[in-house]
Structure 1
Amino acid sequence: MSKRVVIACGSGIATSTLAVHKFQNFCDENGIDVQITQCSYGETDAMLTGADLLLTTQKYDQEFPVPTEVCFAYITGIGEEELNQRLLKILKD
């Protein structure tokens, strides 16, 4: 069954595009079927209906009704393996 993931950044274009690419590759390598929605922070609440996970490119001081992870490691490469391990736990449940 496909997991629905929302990836958000400030504009919904720049850093989230990088994160989408890295996250999709990670999912492909691990046999995880995902549907990814890319958006800006301002659109996040409206995009979460039916979502299994929210990834944001920076810390966001708001509680969301789905598991949420900061995915800045996909931009910098620092901490990427640790992020991937956390995401595996979330997505394999």
Structure 2
Amino acid sequence: MSKKIAVICGTGAATSTIIMNKLTKFLEEKQIKARTTQSNVNAIANSYEDYDLIVSTTHVPNSVTTKVINAVPILTGIGADKVYDEIEKELNS
């Protein structure tokens, strides 16, 4: 079964596009079936229950109970491997 991932940033535009492209490549390399959706934090605050995982470069409200992973290391490249490992672990659980 395919997992659903929301990739979000403050506006749902440039930063989340970069993260989503890198994440999609990672998922393909690991042969992990997942559907990614690009969005912004305000939109996700109302539909977070629809996702198995949120990968974010911005603050997500505490009211969101879906697992959130900080994606800034993917953007900077510093610590990205650790974040990818966390994503893989979460999607395989």
Deviates more, 1:42-51 or 1:71-80: 42-51
Question: Kindly, what percent of the aligned residue pairs are identical?
Answer: 27
Q: Aligned ranges for residues 1-93 of structure 1 at < 5 Å?
A: 1-93=1-93
2-structure distance, mates of 1:42, 1:51: 15
Contact 1:55 1:68 in 2 (8 A): yes
Counterpart of 2:74, as a letter, is Y
RMSD, aligned α-carbons: 1.3
Counterpart of 2:2, as a letter, is S
Q: When the two structures are superposed, what TM-score results if normalisation uses the length of structure 2?
A: 0.91
- Unaligned regions of 5+ residues in structure 2, if any? none
2-structure distance, mates of 1:61, 1:46: 11
2-structure distance, mates of 1:43, 1:19: 17
SS in 1 for 2:62: coil
SS in 2 for 1:12: coil
Q: When the two structures are superposed, what TM-score results if normalisation uses the length of structure 1?
A: 0.91
Contact 1:6 1:53 in 2 (8 A): yes
2-structure distance, mates of 1:40, 1:16: 8
What is the number of residues matched between the two proteins? 93
Deviates more, 1:28-37 or 1:54-63: 54-63
SS in 2 for 1:37: strand
Query: CA 1:42–1:59 in structure 2 vs 1: closer, same or farther (change >3 Å)?
Result: closer
